[in-house]
């Protein structure tokens, strides 16, 4: 056991735990209201939203998995960098419209918007279930990141004693999330992001210096990966479609939309779309840690262990503890936001819609708090009852699933021309086809185009399924409209989507 690293890790963990509990008093509001507990009262400004979205999107698993992919497979792992650049112009143009209509009608989830836009509780339920299913394995993967640093510090074992540190960490997370709602991860995200920036700055300067510079690093990678250091022409389509599909999916996840809904204005969202690419620059450096691990001679059976072992070898024990704390806290922040987002979906779009239509605001908030606890327990079950690769596969599948909500949510911000039944059937087809492709390729997430198109080119399965989804929705809408089938009642009007006074 590395006692020095562990002590530093525990000190920072205790520090953020205290922040988590006292954050309930920050920007104080009535936490018996779901709008206050689950969205922080929609009062987060530019700086807080920047830290919140950064803490939400750039997770512990990102810190572990992206360089692990670079370590194991080469340059294909770098797809995570361009996709986080592609997404922000999309956010700048689209998300202010969603914020405006949500503010106007007190929508807390994407499914609330679907229910209001299309007058369809079934389509809203489909979007809610998809969001919850896609979120659960995502939370579980934060535990994978936490496990990697705990094991690196020597907290290993079998049975209950081996799992106890992880259980305690998420137990503490569950309690302060229940107590403070979204304010807790928003406050902790500030600490987490500052720690990540310090760690990355130290890594990009100190580690290459110790290894003889970036030239020596890439030379070592070329020996291991050969052609995989640079994407070959055969990999262009898989790389590009994976980046594009991942970008389109990113802000459909419930936790990403929670950050949008909690913002105080349209301008806050636009400013963050301009500022958040700073995280993409940091992510590029994080990705290169995988190559640094190769150059440092790190030899691990599980690629997820490459970064923790790199830190242990290259840094003093006290700074390794600091870096591990940054990664560990980087698991707590998104896990908290994800559990809140899933709880909001269940409470608003399943419990209130189908189980207790007359629930009071206090009952609504109490149910969300309870579900947030259950979600975290479910995430722990994912890790303890399934092997790590199964959790990863389910998260990859979750990306395909959440992408199938794009036609209803994003196109719905501009038009309600699509028929609600056509959108539902398109969603169902995309879900089935996407799941089949993922399973058929061993969750490789790449599938050949049909009918010999592109000479057998393979593309990202999620984007392929989305195309099927959209085509079916489009064709069926034309058919349904031609036979006089009406859509649902739209409770929104065009001015709801624009800035006040526009």
- Kindly state the tokens that stand for 495: 């001015």
Q: Which of 205, 241, 187 is nearest to 26 (CA)?
A: 187
Residue 168 has pLDDT above 90, yes or no: no
The mean predicted confidence, pLDDT, of the chain is 86
Measured distance CA(202)–CA(189) in Å, rounded: 20
Kindly report each contact of residues 441-449 with a partner whose C-beta sits within 8 Å and lies 24 or more positions away, as own/partner.
443/392, 443/393, 443/396, 443/397, 445/242, 445/396, 445/399, 445/400, 446/238, 446/242
pLDDT tens for 199-245 read 989 999 999 999 999 999 988 888 887 766 777 777 788 888 888 88
Task: Please tell me the distance from the alpha carbon of residue 166 to that of residue 156, in angstroms, as a whole number.
Answer: 11
- Report how far apart, in Å, the C-alpha atoms of 109 and of each of 112, 115, 337, 356, 432 are: 5, 10, 13, 18, 24
Question: Of 352 and 174, which is predicted with more confidence?
Answer: 352
Position 193 scores a pLDDT of: 86
Q: Is residue 455 scored above 60 in pLDDT?
A: no
Q: The dihedral of CA 239, 241, 247, 250: what is its sign?
A: negative
Lowest-confidence range among 141-145, 191-195, 242-246, 476-480?
141-145
Please give the full DSSP string across 221-251, using - where no structure is assigned.
HHHHHGGGGS--GGGHHHHHHHHHHHHHHHT
Neighbours of 194 (CB within 10 A): 12
User: 167 or 103: whose pLDDT is higher?
Assistant: 103
Domain ranges of the chain: 3-399
Among 268-277, 320-329, 352-361, 434-443, the minimum mean pLDDT is found in: 434-443
Average pLDDT of span 292-318: 89
Q: What share of the chain is helix, strand, coil (3-state, %, to 5)?
A: 80, 0, 20
Q: What is the pLDDT of residues 459-493, one digit of tens each?
A: 888 898 999 999 999 999 999 999 988 888 889 99
As given in the structure block, the two tokens for residue 95 are 């998300």
Which CATH entry fits the domain spanning 3-399: 1.20.81.30, 1.20.1730.10, 1.20.140.10, 1.10.8.420? 1.20.1730.10
Q: Is-contact 21 179, C-beta < 8 A?
A: yes
Question: Could you tell me the two tokens for 81?
Answer: 């960098």
What are the Cα distances from residue 451, in Å, to 392, 412, 435, 448?
31, 31, 20, 9
Residue 378: the pLDDT is 82
pLDDT at 60 over 80: no
CA 390, CA 317: separation in Å to the nearest integer? 32
What is the total residue count of the chain?
502
Calpha distance 45→23 (Å, rounded): 16
Q: Sort 104 into a burial class: Cβ within 10 Å, 0-12 / 13-18 / 19+.
A: middle
The pLDDT of residue 303 is above 90: no
Structure tokens at 394: 């389910």
Q: Are 200 and 54 in contact (CB under 8 A)?
A: no
Q: Which residue has the higher pLDDT, 252 or 175?
A: 252
Average pLDDT in the 148-156 region? 79
Beta strands in 445-493 (DSSP E): 446-448, 458-460
> How far is Cα of residue 390 from the mean position of the Cα atoms in its chain?
18
Residue 472: predicted pLDDT: 97
Give DSSP secondary structure letters for 343-363: HHHHIIIIIIIII-TT--HHH
Does 272 score more than 70 pLDDT? yes
Task: Using pLDDT thresholds of 50, 70 and 90, give the confidence band for residue 384.
Answer: confident
In three-state secondary structure terms, 263 is strand
135 with 129: CB under 8 angstroms?
A: no
Please tell me the predicted confidence (pLDDT) of residue 263.
94
Q: What is the mean pLDDT of residues 27-40?
A: 83
d(CA 141, CA 18): 24
Residue 382 has pLDDT above 90, yes or no: no
By three-state DSSP, how is residue 252 classified?
Answer: coil
Do strands 458-460 and 446-448 pair parallel, antiparallel, or not at all (unpaired)?
A: antiparallel
Structural tokens at position 345: 């979906």
Whether residue 343 contacts residue 38, with contact meaning beta carbons closer than 8 Å, is answered with: yes
**Range 146-166 average pLDDT:** 72
């Amino acid at each position: 056991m590395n006692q020095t690293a562990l002590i530093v890790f525990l000190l920072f963990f205790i520090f953020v735990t205290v922040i988590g509990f006292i954050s309930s008093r920050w920007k104080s509001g009535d936490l018996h209201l779901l709008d206050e507990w689950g969205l922080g009262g929609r009062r987060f400004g530019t700086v807080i939203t920047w830290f919140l979205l950064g803490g939400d999107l750039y997770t512990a698993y990102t810190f572990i998995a992206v360089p692990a992919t670079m370590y194991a497979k080469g340059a294909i792992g770098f797809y995570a960098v361009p996709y986080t650049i592609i997404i922000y112009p999309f956010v700048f143009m689209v998300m202010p419209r969603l914020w405006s209509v949500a503010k106007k009608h007190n929508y807390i989830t994407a499914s609330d918007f679907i229910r209001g836009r299309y007058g369809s509780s079934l389509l809203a339920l489909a979007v809610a279930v998809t969001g919850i299913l896609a979120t659960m394995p995502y939370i579980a993967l934060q535990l994978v990141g936490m496990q990697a640093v705990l094991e690196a510090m020597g907290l290993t074992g079998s049975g209950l004693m081996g799992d106890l540190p992880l259980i305690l960490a998420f137990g503490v997370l569950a309690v302060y999330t229940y107590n403070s709602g979204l304010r807790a991860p928003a406050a902790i995200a500030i600490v987490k992001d500052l720690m990540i920036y310090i760690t990355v700055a130290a890594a990009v300067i100190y580690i290459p210096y110790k290894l003889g510079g970036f030239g020596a690093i890439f030379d070592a990678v070329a020996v291991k990966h050969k052609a995989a250091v640079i994407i070959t022409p055969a990999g262009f389509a898989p790389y590009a479609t994976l980046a594009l599909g991942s970008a389109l999916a990113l802000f459909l996840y419930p936790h990403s939309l929670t950050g949008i809904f909690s913002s105080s204005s349209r301008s806050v969202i636009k400013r963050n779309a301009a500022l958040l690419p700073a995280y993409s620059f940091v992510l590029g450096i994080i990705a290169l840690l995988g190559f640094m691990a190769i150059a440092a001679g790190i030899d691990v059976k599980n690629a997820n262990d490459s970064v923790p072992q790199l830190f242990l070898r290259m840094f003093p024990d006290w700074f390794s503890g600091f870096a591990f704390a940054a990664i560990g806290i980087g698991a707590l922040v998104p896990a908290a936001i994800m559990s809140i987002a899933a709880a909001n979906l269940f409470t608003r779009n399943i419990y209130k819609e189908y189980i207790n239509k007359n629930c009071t605001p206090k009952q609504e908030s109490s149910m969300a708090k309870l579900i947030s606890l259950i979600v975290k327990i479910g995430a722990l079950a994912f890790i303890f009852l399934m092997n790590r690769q199964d959790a990863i596969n389910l998260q990859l599948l979750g990306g395909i699933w959440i992408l199938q909500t794009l036609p209803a949510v994003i196109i719905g911000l501009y038009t309600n021309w699509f028929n609600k039944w056509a959108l539902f059937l398109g969603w169902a087809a995309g879900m089935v086809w996407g799941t089949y492709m993922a399973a058929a390729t061993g969750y490789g997430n790449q599938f050949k185009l049909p009918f010999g198109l592109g000479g057998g080119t393979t593309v990202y399965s999620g984007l392929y399924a989305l195309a099927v989804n959209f085509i079916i929705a489009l064709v069926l809408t034309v058919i349904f409209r031609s036979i006089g089938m009406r859509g649902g009642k739209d409770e929104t009007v065009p001015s709801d989507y624009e800035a006040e006074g526009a």
